[in-house]
Chains A and B, each alone.
Chain A
Amino acid sequence: MSSAAQLEKKPVKRQKLKKRRTFSRTDRLTLGVFIGIPTFLHVALVWFPAMATIYLSFTYWTGIHIGDIQWAGFANYENIFFNTPIFWDALRVNVVWLVWFGVIATPLGILLAYQIDREIRGHKFYQSAYYLPVVLSLAVIGVIWNFLLRPDGLVNGLLGLEISEAVSFFGDDRYNIWVILTMASWRHIGYIMLLYLAGLKAVDATLREAASIDGATEWQTFKKVVFPAMKPVNIIVIVITIIESLRAFDLIYIIYGSSGGLPILGVLVFQNIAGEGASMKGAAYAVILFLLSIVPIVSYLRQQFKEDVS
């Protein structure tokens, strides 16, 4: 009996497999086009240039004829590490940025998400308020904050300072990085809040109820129950925090242009590409930026492809 059943099953299975494997010529062509075009575009405009930049960072090149490229070894990197103090300044700014985001902005976003998710009074309005800056362009954000901080802006007005004695929030080294970080956080906090809120919606509500019945305080519930359950989102949020801190470019560029009133890696890459001639220092800066972002990129991929690979 059982063997008969097996016999019956087998041909069906085989047929199914066969059907999947044989494609008509048009089908094969369609499939080729379907993955061919996107893959070609992506490789040609993302991966190939990325590899080329890595190669170029080890060369001297005026950027005109390909034949002029000369091997430079680590010269560009040596130049950056030992003869370019501004690199260390920029790196310091990026690190401060990262620490600020990691210690203040991201936790605030998480805290907000947690409270809003508990549907405290007015939570809908609060969510909208914090989410608004997320849709705005950084160019617009630059104009908006300039309004508050320019010499004849609101803050100086409130401080009662005339234009001649006004605090230059963007020019003064004592203030500029903190002002910029506040502006960046204005958007980042809302972004993290949205990501975390979506994650919290997926956490089983009964878990929290059980914790509160057991007499756990709000903080305990968050620390012991909610936070661990949010591991996937936590990883994404950490990765986004790091990548955003490294990529920071737009805001600085909007405020200072390419002159760079506040040095930061993303802008250094740009300056050196736009200005400097023969050395490929710009490429080397880009590679340094890339190397710094490898860890977050890999952890993001590992998180997202856990099931696929195993």
Chain B
Amino acid sequence: MSVTENRVDKKAAEKATQAEQKLKRSRGAQAVKDRIISIFIGFFALAWLFPIIWTFYSSLRPYKEIRAGGVLSFPKELNFNNYIEAISRMELPTYFFNTALITLPAVFLILLLGSLMAFVVTRYSFKANVALLLLFTAGNLLPPQLVFIPVFKMYLALGDLVGDRRFLYDSPFGVILIHVAFQMGFATFVLSSYMKTIPKEISESALVDGASVFTHFFRVMLPLLRPPLASLGVLMTTWIYNDFFWALVLMSTDSKRPITSALGRLTGEFVTDYNLLAAGAMIAALPTLIVFFVLRKQFISGLTLGSTKG
């Protein structure tokens, strides 16, 4: 018995070394290939970053230098003057304030209402659960252009009803509401798929303890939702911050518009001093760059939570 065993062992060992050699050879070829791929992708990565780096570089130069010597001229002056001027001349602080006035309440409401909805749909069994969830998810996917005309008219009509035309139209409140109505669908969908992974026993024990629905949500479920809420919060903040459409069509007073929509107008106005505009754009991009550098984990998981379950 031991003899046969030995033989088998030997054979197996031979086979293993052969396979190993083959693997090594193919791994060597693969390593070379990998290096080429890496260089190739690296080249493109630099090309990818180039537009941003170039804009940043340009924002440090005065426009008159480019006027005089062309874009390729060697920089004589590199400083943050454009930034200082952009902040004062473009009224950027006002636009930032407008953005905050829309983004912060909208994100808060999206997270609150989305988690309430997801909570009821996943923790209590109604017949309409799946239908409701479908309604919300599908609604989120509708093109905004499809709902725009009636929303616009409804805002005006409601404004007339309360005696102030600018109650919803041309007001941050109206923009907040439409963002909440749309993005809540996404939040509900993402949060409900997260809640499905939380064991039912937690809810059951809360119910056995006689907790009311209110306590069940705020004391038991909400604390457990912190990770997806953080991800969604970062993602929603970025999306609403970057939104262009709604602030453009639902607001008419420029000084009330958030910074990204205002940038469109500033492009026209400062066409004569493009380097100043570059500084303005870099400042407008700053909050999203913070997301990029600091909150990337949350942003990416927020983005992918909706597309890949679990």
Q: How far is the CA of A159 from the CA of B156 in the complex (A)?
A: 51
A278 to chain B, nearest CB (A): 14
Q: Chain A residues near B264: list those with CB within 8 A.
A: 139, 142, 253-254, 257
Number of interface residues of A (CB under 8 A): 107
A154 CB contact (under 8 Å) in B54, B137, B217, B242? B54
A130 touches B45 (CB 8 A): yes
**Tally of chain B residues near chain A (CB < 8 A):** 106
Chain B residues numbered 162-187 whose CB sits less than 8 Å from any CB in chain A: 177-178, 180-182, 184-185
Flag if A50 contacts B142 (CB, 8 Å): yes
Please determine whether B38 and A139 come into contact, CB atoms closer than 8 angstroms. Answer: no
Asked whether, in the complex, the Cβ of B177 is within 8 Å of the Cβ of A46, the reply is no
Residues B138 and A301 in contact, CB atoms below 8 Å apart: yes
Contact pick for B41, options A49, A126, A148, CB 8 Å: A126
Contact with A along B286-310 (1 / 0, CB 8 A): 0011011000100110011001111
- Give the residue among A120, A139, A199, A246 with the most B Cβ atoms within 10 A: A139
Q: Which residues of A are found within 8 Å of B184, using beta-carbon distances?
A: 38, 41-42
Interchain CA distance A266-B181 in the complex, whole Å? 21
Contacts of A41 in B (CB 8 A): 113, 177, 180-181, 184
The A/B interface has a contact count, at CB < 8 Å, of 301
Consensus secondary structure, chain B interface: helix
A38 touches B117 (CB 8 A): yes
Which residue of B113, B141, B308 is within 8 Å of A232 (Cβ)?
B308
Contacts of A63 on B, CB cut-off 8 Å? 149, 153
Q: How many Å lie between the Cα of A118 and that of B48 in the bound state?
A: 20
Chain A residue nearest to B27 (CB atoms) is: A212
A44 at the interface (CB under 8 A from B): yes
Is B263's CB within 8 Å of the partner chain A?
yes
- Report yes or no: A129 in contact with B49, Cβ–Cβ below 8 A: yes
| Structural contact, B288 and A143, CB atoms closer than 8 A | no
Q: Which residue of B lies closest to A309 (CB)?
A: B130
The complex places the Cα of A244 from the Cα of B188 at a distance, in Å, of 21
CB distance from A27 to the nearest CB of B (A): 4
B277 proximity list for chain A (CB < 8 A): 143
Q: A120, B71: Cβ atoms under 8 Å?
A: no
- With A34-B116, A34-B213, A246-B143 already in contact, the answer to whether A157 and B150 are too (CB < 8 A) is no
B161 within 8 A of A: no
The contact of B212 among A30, A144, A273, by CB within 8 Å, is A30
**Chain A residues with CB below 8 A from B284, complex form:** 137, 139-140
Is the CB of B136 closer than 8 A to any CB of chain A?
Answer: yes
Q: In the bound complex, do residue A135 and residue B291 qualify as a contact, i.e. CB atoms below 8 Å apart?
A: yes
**B94 contacts the other chain (CB 8 A):** no
A233 with B46: in contact, given A34-B116, A42-B136, A249-B245 (CB under 8 Å)? no
Cα distance, A277 to B50, chains bound together (Å): 45
In the complex, the answer to whether B51 meets A289 with C-beta atoms within 8 Å is no
Is B244 within 8 A of A215, CB to CB? no
Shortest Cβ distance from residue B41 to the other chain A in the assembled complex, whole angstroms: 5
B19 at the interface (CB under 8 A from A): yes
| A159 to B241 CA separation, bound complex (whole angstroms) | 36
Q: How far is the CA of A246 from the CA of B182 in the complex (A)?
A: 18
Q: Told that A194-B303, A232-B308, A269-B145 touch, could you supply 16 new A-B pairs with CB distance under 8 A? A: A34-B217, A45-B182, A53-B149, A122-B38, A125-B42, A135-B289, A135-B291, A137-B263, A139-B242, A143-B280, A147-B55, A148-B54, A194-B304, A195-B303, A213-B23, A273-B152
Q: Which residues of A contact B (CB under 8 A)?
A: 19-20, 23-24, 26-27, 30-31, 34-35, 37-39, 41-50, 52-53, 56, 63, 112, 115-116, 118, 120-122, 125-126, 128-140, 142-148, 150, 152-154, 157-158, 186, 190-191, 194-195, 198-199, 202, 212-213, 215, 218, 232-233, 236-237, 240, 243, 246-247, 249-250, 253-254, 257, 266, 269-270, 273, 280, 282-283, 285-287, 289-290, 293, 297, 300-301, 304-305, 308-309
